[in-house]
Amino acid sequence: MSFFINESSLSQTKVSLSASFDKPILEELKPFYTPSEGQIEDLLKGEVISVGKVDSPTPKEQQMMLFVSGIHPRNCIRAMRKLSLYENYHNYMDFVKSSKYDDKTQRLNFTIDHALLPFPMVVEFKIPRITKPGHYPFVFEKGFLKDLKGTVIVHDVGKYCLLGLKTDWRGPESKIPNVVFSTFVQTVGRLGLEHLIRVSIF
| Interval 35-55: pLDDT, tens | 999 999 999 999 999 999 999
The 3 state secondary structure assigned to 58-79 is CCCEEEEEEEEEEEECCCHHHH
Cβ within 8 Å of residue 79, ≥6 positions away: 72, 161, 163, 197, 200
Cα separation, 62 vs 43, whole angstroms:
30
Query: Under CATH, which number does the domain 24-154+192-199 receive?
Result: 3.30.530
Q: Region 172-201: what's the mean pLDDT?
A: 92
Mean pLDDT (the chain, rounded): 91
Specify the pLDDT at position 12. 54
CB 118 within 8 A of CB 130: no
Specify the pLDDT at position 174. 87
The string of pLDDT tens digits covering residues 62-78 is 999 999 999 999 999 99
